[in-house]
């Protein structure tokens, strides 16, 4: 792998190696630019994926080198529901390894639908929210979705199925490159319910290849999937689908254990590089010089780093003249239902999601009384320790009754997990905790979030639909979840939103910071509205689009696009 | 059953299969292997082990199918407390002292089963009980290399097949 000296001015520093950082690193290095990717996590099993651990206990208690997610004990964060509360210790975490969250994610890879880019124009804005149109249309992004799906390796329904689903699936200029995953028993039961209730159900769209593709082998349905690294490179993570291509150009260095604490700027307000803690070297501070900085650290760490990068010129944080860095956070919320079936589903085999219910994706404010929609998935995947600790439904938590119910209900449970729209609200934020520091002495991330009351109606709607579907599928017993208003997690979006107006957005339509000509911010933080809480495919497509424009501009010697 | 009558099974520990533990806590694992191979413990004293074993046996009892005792959960917990669960040692130390205070110094393991259940029910919400409960369940369902789930008895009970790969159909409803 190419190595650069920190004093050498590279063309690009990319902060983060996940869904967006991986695309940026590949596209920029393939175009001939020198690139250093800063990753605060370790290598994981990059290049020797067969060594990813499949042991559930080890996965629960990873040693520092085995760790694939951030550790809330060191990457400390705090949480509160609203600004009047004192924040308490939070449990927010995110992918923290070469490849970021894509190494361990469930890998659902749905596109946003055309109407998820201009909801303000189509459906109107809503009091107390930041609903706005994106500065790009679906038509502009469509070619980049296709490019992302084919380069990364996405499996999904056949052309015939897509055609039949009509407007419930985004129009595609090219079908999915790889055939879909098995439906599983959960999917078969969804199909049964779909017939009775006249619903549209398809197999899942996922960044998991089911047959050999681009030199990688297909999924072997081992079942230790979401939350684990993939031993056979079937999950199309940045670490297997993108970063090796970047490294092979000879232009890209991935620098692990490098925790960026500041994006530096000069007196004219241009970024000059980044300062990071070299964790392998006693957390010594190192400055890496760069012509241009790309920030792809995820929807929570990206705004935090901007807020940490205060200077005389940028006293309220970098790229924050609008004052909205960190605002409009959408973390995802949910609520569903579970049911028991007569015979074993064995959902622990295969990947987490087999099928998706698409009928409630579109908006239908008039009939449902709330704004937004959701994509429903059926799953029952529980690994043995997880199942044992959670216990059986309606049973004691220990003793003979616990054991009896645990054995009786084993492998017979199906849960509807729903991916629901969430409105961007200005008071839902990531900012710097005034009291708590992380293990490196920097202000900890503070998350403040409560979903809009509209979204509570949405969650209840999907809980009710879940109950209905499970009953139609023949469940012998059904119970509704409680509403789950999230406190953080992997789907954070909206905290450095795109827009044409520098007063109401952080980056322009090509992800360039309005305030800093050579700083690009591209990841979930760029989202204007949240879609149906399946963000990764759109992050990938936006990154391909951003890189395309950035390469063209950089080749002229001026990245100011 | 009195403490002196309790016979712990000799634990056959395979060093190579406990690679993760051995890599991260080599000295602790070596000590545990040595002790357990002789029917002794590395963290617990024998009387303490008897009490925790009795608690585990109430949490996941032996019924018409094997329970925590047959799964050798006590060895899982004993090793856990010197490896990945070292931070729980204080909870156990305090919990065992409280338990002894509750029984007036009598061995918990020596109490009749109904008294054991009553006492455990009264302490259900304590960190000690919750921790032993969670460790017992982990010992039932973690891979056997971690000391419990002897001969995969836990996995068999909940129908978990630890094969490395599968082919659809997976369950009863996706059969063609």
Chain A residues inside the 8 Å CB shell of B133 = 397-398
CA distance A347 to A448: 35
B137/A57 touch (CB, cutoff 8 Å), yes or no: no
- Nearest CA distance, B5 vs chain A (angstrom): 24
Quote the DSSP letter at residue A208: B
Using a CB–CB cutoff of 8 Å, tell me whether B117 touches chain A.
Answer: yes
pLDDT exceeds 60 at position B9: no
Residues of chain A with pLDDT under 50: none
Chain A residues inside the 8 Å CB shell of B120 = 398
Architecture of domain A1-80+91-154+236-330+492-561 in this structure = 3-Layer(bba) Sandwich (3.50)
CA distance A146 to A27: 15
Using a CB–CB cutoff of 8 Å, tell me whether B21 touches chain A.
Answer: no
Q: Name which of A45, A203, A398, A411 to mutate to probe chain B: the one with the most chain B Cβ atoms within 10 A of its Cβ.
A: A398
| Spatial CB neighbours of A41, under 8 Å, sequence gap ≥ 6 | A67, A68, A70, A95, A96, A97, A98, A100, A256, A257
Three state DSSP letters for B42-61: CCCCHHHHHHHHHHHHHHCC
> pTM for the whole thing?
0.95
Residue A66 has what pLDDT? 84
CA distance A439 to A525: 24
Residue B140 contacts residue B68 (beta carbons within 8 Å): yes
- Nearest CA distance, A548 vs chain B (angstrom): 39
Residue A508 contacts residue A283 (beta carbons within 8 Å): no
Confidence of residue B31 (pLDDT cuts 50, 70, 90): confident
Chain A residues inside the 8 Å CB shell of B85 = 61
B159/A410 touch (CB, cutoff 8 Å), yes or no: yes
Domain boundaries along the sequence of chain A: 1-80+91-154+236-330+492-561, 165-222+333-421+450-485
Chain A residues inside the 8 Å CB shell of B165 = 220-222
**Cα A558-A239-A236 angle, rounded to 5 deg:** 105
B171/A411 touch (CB, cutoff 8 Å), yes or no: yes
Instruction: Nearest by CB to A348, from B61, B84, B160: name it.
Output: B160
Nearest CA in chain A to B164: A222
Residue A62 contacts residue A45 (beta carbons within 8 Å): no
CA distance A28 to A296: 14
Highest mean pLDDT among A484-498, B17-31, B34-48, B119-133: B119-133
Chain B residues inside the 8 Å CB shell of A411 = 158-159, 171
Q: Is B12 helix (H, G, I), strand (E, B) or coil?
A: coil
CA distance A24 to A292: 12
E-state strands within A217-326: 252-255, 258-265, 271-278, 284-295
Q: Name which of B171, B172, B175, B176 to mutate to probe chain A: the one with the most chain A Cβ atoms within 10 A of its Cβ.
A: B171
- Nearest CA distance, A63 vs chain B (angstrom): 7
Residue B18 has what pLDDT? 60
Residue B12 has what pLDDT? 56
- Nearest CA distance, A422 vs chain B (angstrom): 33
Give the distance, in angstroms, between the CA of residue A234 and the centroid of all CA atoms in the same chain: 18
Using a CB–CB cutoff of 8 Å, tell me whether B166 touches chain A.
Answer: yes
CA distance A486 to A484: 6
CATH of domain A165-222+333-421+450-485: 3.30.410
Instruction: Nearest by CB to B170, from A58, A341, A350: name it.
Output: A350
- Nearest CA distance, A228 vs chain B (angstrom): 14
Q: Name which of B18, B21, B170, B176 to mutate to probe chain A: the one with the most chain A Cβ atoms within 10 A of its Cβ.
A: B170
Mark out the alpha helices in B103-163 (DSSP H runs): 113-122, 127-141, 153-157
Confidence of residue B13 (pLDDT cuts 50, 70, 90): low
pLDDT exceeds 60 at position B10: no
Confidence of residue B49 (pLDDT cuts 50, 70, 90): very high
Structure tokens at A347: 């959902």
| Spatial CB neighbours of A22, under 8 Å, sequence gap ≥ 6 | A99, A100, A102, A237, A238, A239, A241, A242, A243, A246
CA distance A536 to B129: 41
- Alpha-carbon torsion, ordered B152, A340, A109, A113, to 10 deg: 180
| A219-266: pLDDT as tens digits | 999 999 999 999 999 999 999 999 999 999 999 999 999 999 999 999
B61/A58 touch (CB, cutoff 8 Å), yes or no: no
Chain A residues inside the 8 Å CB shell of B58 = 398-399
Residue B2 has what pLDDT? 37
Structure tokens at A485: 């208003």
Using a CB–CB cutoff of 8 Å, tell me whether B134 touches chain A.
Answer: yes
Instruction: Nearest by CB to A349, from B145, B157, B166: name it.
Output: B166
Structure tokens at A471: 């009953």
ipTM confidence score: 0.93
- Nearest CA distance, B39 vs chain A (angstrom): 24
CA distance A408 to A343: 10
Taking the CB of residue A424, how many other CB atoms lie within 10 A of it? 23
Question: If you average pLDDT over residues B102-114, what whole number do you get?
Answer: 95
CA distance A135 to A121: 12
Phi, psi of A181 (to 5 degrees): -75, 165
| A152-211: pLDDT as tens digits | 999 999 999 999 999 999 999 999 999 999 999 999 999 999 999 999 999 999 999 999
């Amino acid at each position: 792998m190419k190595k650069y000296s920190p004093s050498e001015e590279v063309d690009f520093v990319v902060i983060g190696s996940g869904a967006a950082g991986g695309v940026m690193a590949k596209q920029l290095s393939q175009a001939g630019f020198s690139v250093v990717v800063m990753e605060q996590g370790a290598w994981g099993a990059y290049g020797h994926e067969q060594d990813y651990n499949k042991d559930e206990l080890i996965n629960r208690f990873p040693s520092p080198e085995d760790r694939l997610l951030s550790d809330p004990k060191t990457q400390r964060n705090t949480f509160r529901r609203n600004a009047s509360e004192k924040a308490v210790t939070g449990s927010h975490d995110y992918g923290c390894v070469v490849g970021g969250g894509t190494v361990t994610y469930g890998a659902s890879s749905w596109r946003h639908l055309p109407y998820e880019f201009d909801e303000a124009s189509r459906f109107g804005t809503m009091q107390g929210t930041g609903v706005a149109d994106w500065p790009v249309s679906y038509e502009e992004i469509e070619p980049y979705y296709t490019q992302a799906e084919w380069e990364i390796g996405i499996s999904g329904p056949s052309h015939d199925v897509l055609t039949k689903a009509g407007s419930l699936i985004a129009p595609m200029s090219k079908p999915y490159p790889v055939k879909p995953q098995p439906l599983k028993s959960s999917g078969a039961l969804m199909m049964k319910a779909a017939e009775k209730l006249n619903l549209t159900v398809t197999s899942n769209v996922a960044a998991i290849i089911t047959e050999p593709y681009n030199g990688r082998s297909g999924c072997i349905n081992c079942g230790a999937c979401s939350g684990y690294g993939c031993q056979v490179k079937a999950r199309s993570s940045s670490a297997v689908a993108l970063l090796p291509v970047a490294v092979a150009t000879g232009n890209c260095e991935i620098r692990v254990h490098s925790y960026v604490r500041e994006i530096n700027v000069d007196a004219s307000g241009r970024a000059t590089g980044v300062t990071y803690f070299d964790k392998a070297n006693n957390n010594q501070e190192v400055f890496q010089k760069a012509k241009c900085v790309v920030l792809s650290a995820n929807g929570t760490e990206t705004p935090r780093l901007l807020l940490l990068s205060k200077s005389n010129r940028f006293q309220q944080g970098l790229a924050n003249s609008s004052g909205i860095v960190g605002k409009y956070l959408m973390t995802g919320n949910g609520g569903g239902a579970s049911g028991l079936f007569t015979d074993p589903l064995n959902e622990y085999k295969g990947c987490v999601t087999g099928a998706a219910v698409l009928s409630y994706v579109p908006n239908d404010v008039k009939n449902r009384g709330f704004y937004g929609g959701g994509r429903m998935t059926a799953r029952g995947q529980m690994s043995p320790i997880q199942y044992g600790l959670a216990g059986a439904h309606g049973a004691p938590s220990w003793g003979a009754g616990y054991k009896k119910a645990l054995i009786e209900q084993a492998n017979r449970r199906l849960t509807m997990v729903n991916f629901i729209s969430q409105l961007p609200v200005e008071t839902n934020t990531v900012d710097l905790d005034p009291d708590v520091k992380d293990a490196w002495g920097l202000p900890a991330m503070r998350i403040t979030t409560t979903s809009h009351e509209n979204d509570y109606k949405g969650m209840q709607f999907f809980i009710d639909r879940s109950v209905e579907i499970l009953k139609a599928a023949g469940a012998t017993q059904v119970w509704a979840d409680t509403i789950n208003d999230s406190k953080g997690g992997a789907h954070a979006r909206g905290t450095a939103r795109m827009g044409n107006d520098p007063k109401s957005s952080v980056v322009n339509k090509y992800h360039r910071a309005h305030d800093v000509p050579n700083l690009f911010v591209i990841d979930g933080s760029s989202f204007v509205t949240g879609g149906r809480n399946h963000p990764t495919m759109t992050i990938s497509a936006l990154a391909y689009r951003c890189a395309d424009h950035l390469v063209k501009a950089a080749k002229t010697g001026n990245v100011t696009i | 059953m009195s403490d002196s009558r309790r016979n712990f099974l000799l634990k056959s520990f395979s060093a190579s299969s406990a690679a993760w533990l051995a890599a991260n806590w080599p000295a602790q694992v070596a000590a545990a292997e040595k002790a357990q191979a002789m029917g002794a413990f590395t963290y617990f004293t024998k009387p303490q082990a008897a009490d925790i074993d009795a608690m585990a046996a109430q949490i996941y009892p032996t019924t018409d199918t094997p329970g925590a005792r047959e799964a050798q959960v006590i060895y899982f917990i004993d090793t856990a407390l010197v490896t990945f669960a070292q931070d729980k040692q204080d909870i156990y130390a305090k919990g065992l002292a409280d338990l002894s205070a509750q029984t007036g110094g009598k061995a918990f393991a020596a109490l009749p089963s109904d008294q054991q259940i009553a006492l455990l029910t009264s302490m259900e919400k304590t960190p000690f009980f919750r921790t032993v409960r969670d460790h017992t369940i982990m010992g039932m369902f973690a891979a056997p290399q971690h000391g419990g789930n002897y001969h995969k008895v836990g996995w068999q009970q909940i129908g978990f097949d630890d094969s490395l790969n599968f082919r659809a159909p997976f369950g009863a409803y996706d059969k063609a």
